Amino acid sequence: MKLKSLLVGVGLLAGLGTAHAEDPFKVGFVYVGPVGDLGWSYEHDRGRQEMEKYFDGKVETTYVESVPEGADAERVITQLAKSGNDLIFTTSFGYMNPTLKVAKRFPKTTFEHATGYKRSKNMGTYVLRTYEGRYVSGIAAGLLTKTNTIGYIGSFPIPEVIRDIDATYMAAKSVNPDVKIKIVWVNSWYDPGKETDAANALMDQGVDVMLQHTDSPAPLIAAEKRGIRAIGQASDQSKFAPEAHVFSVRDDWAPYYIKTAKAVMDGTYKPTDFWGGFQDDMLSLASINDNLPKDIRAKIDATYEKINSGEFHPFTGPITDNKGNLVVPAGHTLTDAELAQVNWYVEGITDEVPR
Amino acid sequence: MDIDLITQILFATIKTGTPLLLIALGEVICEKSGVLNLGQEGMMLMGAVVGFMSAFATGNLGLAVFAAMAMGALMSLIFGFLVLHLGANQVATGLALTIFGTGLSAFIGSGVIGETLQGFQPIIIPVLSDIPVIGKILFTHDLLVYISFVVAAALAFIANKTRLGLTLRAVGENPHAANAIGIKVLSIRYFAIMFGGAMAGLAGAYMSLSYTPMWVENMTSGRGWIALALVVFASWRIGNIMLGAYLFGLASIMHLVLQGMGWSISPNLLAMLPYVATVVVMVIISADQFKEKLLAPRSLGKPFDPRQMA
C-alpha cells in the first residue's frame, strides 16, 4: 500500500507539471480496503470504472486503496486535492473529519463523503439505503433458520451498522417470532482472519444463517464449510459459497458518481445528503440462489417489490427499542436525517449497543 | 455452557494456536543455539504470500507449503549471513527483516488480493476421532495441524534426549567451550536459524492456505511477535510452548465467543486480551531475575567469533 500510494503521489506530481487548460475533468477516489476485497471497495471501484467509461475520455480518475482511517487519510486526501482533482470521493465513514478538514483548505474542489453526516459548502455526503437490503436479508434469514438463531458480524458500532442490524432483526422477527440474533463485533472493515474467527464463534453457538457488515468473503467461506446459510455483503459473493449463499445485497455506486460528476462539470452542484436504494438502482439483490425453497424465494421477491415500489419503509412506527422506549411513534417514518442517527437496538435484541 | 460449545471452543483454540505453535517451535530452536531472530513476522508474511501464490498458480498445496518453507528459510539465511558472518547486531537485523518482509510481501502479493482457493481440508482420523470430546478437539483438523503435533513431539525428543539436542544447547550456552571440543558453532547456528525460518514459512502457509485461504496484506497481524513472547513465557521448554500457544489461541478467540453469548463488554477491551496476557506473563517471568537468567540460553543474542577466545 505504502509503495502504491507513493507511486500515485509521484504520478500526480508529474501530472501537475504538465497541466494545461484543456485538462480533462479529474476525479479522485479514496478506498478503505484493497480494490480486490470483492466487497465494499471493489464496488466503489466498479463505480469509478463505469463512470470513466460513461464519460469516454472526458473524465480522468485516480484512486488510492487501503488507506487507513486517520492521519494517513488526511494526507492522502490533501495529496489528491493538491494534484488538481476537481472532485474527490472519500468512501468510508472514518474519512469524515479528514475530508471536512481538507475541504476547508481547498474551497474550489468538491468533496463527497460516503456514509457520513458532516457537510460544508463544498462537501456533500452520500449513502446507500443498505437497510432496505438488510430488511430483505432479515426476511430470508428468519425463514431459513432452523435453530432460530441468526448471526451478525459487525464492524464498528456506528449508526449505519446499528441501523442495519435493526432492519435485519425486525424483518426476521416479522416472519419468525422466536428468532434470536447474536452479534459479534470485530472492530475492522476488512480482516478475513478475524471475520473467520467470528463466524466460527457464532456457528459454535448455534447460528445457522450468517450476515455480515464487514467486507471480506471469509464468513461465507466459513459458512460453506460448515454447511449453513450466509448472505453476501456489498458485492456478489456467490462464487465463494455456492451452496451456502442466499443472495448478496450488491452496491452500485455508478449512477451517483456519474450524476455528481455531471453536476460539478455543469456548475449545478449543491452539497446534499443523498440516499440511494433499490429505487435508484444503487442497491440490488444479486445471484439469488436457485437452491432456495420456492415459498421463501417468493417471500424474498415480494418484500423486495414492497420496498422498491415505495409501499413499505422498514423504519415505520411504532418501533420500540430494547430498553422499552418508543423510538419511532406510530404513523411516523424516520427521515433520512433521523436514520443517520440510529443508535438503539430494536426490541428483542438482547445485547446492548457497545459504547 | 454445554459440553458441545466447550468442545467447539477448544477445537477453535487448537486452530488459532497452531500458527503460534509453529513459529514458536522454530524460534525456540534458533534461540537455543544462542541466536535471537526478531524477523519472525516478516518471514511468516513472506511464507504466507509465497505459499498462497504458489498454490494459486499450480493448485498443488504440498508444493505451496514447500515453497513457503523454502522462502522462510531463504529469508532467515539473509539474517544468518548478516549476524553470523558480519557480526551484525541481532536485534536490529531481526527488526529489519520483519520490516523488509512486511513490505515485500505486500508488494508481491498485490496481484492475488481478493482471490481465494480451496485450502487444506480437514482429515478426520478414524478411531481416534471417535474418542468422546478429545477426538473432536484433536483429531478432526487438517494436515498442517497434525504436522505441528508431530514436529512438537519430535523436537521435544531431539532437544531433551539426543546428542544433537545437547550439541545445540552447548552452542547456545557456551559457544567457546563448544568450539574447543570441536563443534562447528557457526554451522549449528546456521542450521538452527534456517530451521526457524522454515517453520515461520510453514506458519505463514498455515495462515494463507488453511486458516483463511486467501492473501491479505499483513494477515499475520502480529502473531510473530506473540510467538516471541511465547518462547520466553515457555522458558524455552518445548512442552510449555505447546501449552502456551493454545492458551494464547484461546485468549484471542474468547472475546468473540463471549460477545456471541451476549456479554456486553466493550469489544475493544476484549480484543486486548491476548496482548494483556502477554504483558502479564512477561511481568511474572521477569519478576524473578535469577530464574530468568537460569532459563535463557546464556549466550542468547551475543555474536560468536571463533578467532576470539572467551
Residue among B199, B184, B194, B284 nearest B233 (CA):
B284
What is the distance between the alpha carbons of residues B251 and B254, in angstroms, rounded to a whole number? 5
Among chain A residues, CA nearest to B259:
A184
Q: What is the DSSP string of A259-280?
A: HHHHHHHHT-----EEEE-GGG
- Residue B66 neighbours by CB distance under 10 Å: 17
Minimum-distance CB partner of A193 among B212, B267, B271: B212
For B23-159, strand residue ranges (E) read none
In a domain, B165, yes or no: yes
A123-128 and A326-328 as β-strands: parallel, antiparallel, unpaired?
Answer: unpaired
Torsion angle (degrees, nearest 10) of CA B274, B280, B284, B285: 50
Which residues of chain A neighbour B210 with C-beta distances below 8 Å?
none
The helix or strand, by DSSP H or E, that contains position B290, with its residue range, turns out to be helix B289-295
For A276, left (φ over 0), alpha (ψ -120 to 50), or beta?
beta
Please enumerate residues of A whose Cβ is less than 8 A from a Cβ of B. 1-4, 34-38, 42, 66, 151, 182-187, 190-198, 200-202, 204-205, 207, 216-218, 221, 240, 350-352, 354-355
Minimum-distance CB partner of A204 among B9, B103, B115: B9
In a domain, B98, yes or no: yes
Q: Give per-residue burial for B95-104: e unless 16+ CB within 10 Å, then b.
A: ebbbebbbbb
Which of B256, B269, B275 to mutate to probe the A interface, most A CBs <10 Å?
B256
Q: Going by C-beta distance under 8 Å and a sequence separation of 6 or more, which residues neighbour residue A209? A: A140, A141, A144, A145, A150, A151, A228, A229, A230, A231, A246
Block mean pLDDT (10 aa), chain A, length 355? 48 44 84 82 94 93 90 93 95 94 95 92 95 97 97 92 96 96 89 90 94 92 94 91 95 95 94 94 94 96 95 94 94 92 93 83
| Contact call for residues B55 and B64 (beta carbons, < 8 A) | yes
B289 touches chain A (CB under 8 A): no
Largest CA distance in chain A: 65
Q: What is the pLDDT of residues B166-200, one digit of tens each?
A: 999 999 988 999 999 999 999 999 999 999 999 99
B216 touches chain A (CB under 8 A): yes
ipTM score over 0.90, yes or no: no
Return the sign of the alpha-carbon dihedral for residues A76, A81, A84, A89: positive
Per-residue model confidence (pLDDT) at position A12: 46
3-state DSSP assignment of residue B233: helix
Structural domains in chain A plus CATH codes:
2-128 (3.40.50.2300), 131-250+286-339 (3.40.50.2300)
In a domain, B141, yes or no: yes
What is the distance between the alpha carbons of residues B68 and B56, in angstroms, rounded to a whole number? 13
Q: Count how many residues are written for chain A.
A: 355
Q: What is the pLDDT of residues B94-151, one digit of tens each?
A: 999 999 999 999 899 988 877 888 889 889 998 888 888 888 889 989 999 999 999 9
B107 touches chain A (CB under 8 A): yes
Alpha carbon of A119: minimum distance to chain B alpha carbons (Å): 29
* Angle between helical axes of B40-58 and B223-233 (0-180°, round to 10): 130
Per-residue model confidence (pLDDT) at position B251: 81
Number of domains into which chain B is organized: 1
Among chain B residues, CA nearest to A195:
B212
3-state DSSP assignment of residue A338: helix
In a domain, B260, yes or no: no
What is the distance between the alpha carbons of residues B150 and B125, in angstroms, rounded to a whole number? 15
Q: Going by C-beta distance under 8 Å and a sequence separation of 6 or more, which residues neighbour residue A64? A: A4, A5, A8, A28, A29, A30, A31, A76, A79, A80
The grid cell for A248 is 448478496
Full residue range of the structural domain in which residue B212 is found: 3-222
What is the distance between the alpha carbons of residues B86 and B80, in angstroms, rounded to a whole number? 9
B309 touches chain A (CB under 8 A): no
The cell 434470536 sits on which residue?
A180
Contact B217 A1 (CB under 8 A): yes
In a domain, B38, yes or no: yes
Per-residue model confidence (pLDDT) at position B280: 79
A59-64 and A87-90 as β-strands: parallel, antiparallel, unpaired?
Answer: unpaired
Q: What is the DSSP string of B158-196?
A: HHHHSHHHHHHHHHHH-HHHHHHTT--HHHHHHHHHHHH
| Contact call for residues A192 and B219 (beta carbons, < 8 A) | yes
Largest CA distance in chain B: 64
B217 touches chain A (CB under 8 A): yes
Can you give the pLDDT of all 310 residues of chain B as single tens digits?
A: 688 888 888 999 999 999 999 999 999 999 999 999 999 999 999 999 999 999 999 999 999 999 999 999 999 999 999 999 898 999 999 999 999 999 999 899 988 877 888 889 889 998 888 888 888 889 989 999 999 999 999 999 999 899 999 999 999 988 999 999 999 999 999 999 999 999 999 999 999 999 988 888 888 888 898 898 888 888 888 988 999 999 888 888 888 888 888 776 666 676 677 677 767 777 777 776 666 666 778 888 888 877 665 4
What is the distance between the alpha carbons of residues A219 and A199, in angstroms, rounded to a whole number? 6
Per-residue model confidence (pLDDT) at position B248: 85
Contact B110 A4 (CB under 8 A): yes
Per-residue model confidence (pLDDT) at position B301: 83
Residue among A205, A155, A208, A165 nearest A347 (CA):
A165
Contact A34 B217 (CB under 8 A): yes
Which residues of chain B neighbour A201 with C-beta distances below 8 Å?
12, 253, 256-257, 259-260
In a domain, B205, yes or no: yes
In a domain, B273, yes or no: no
Per-residue model confidence (pLDDT) at position A15: 43
Alpha carbon of B270: minimum distance to chain A alpha carbons (Å): 10
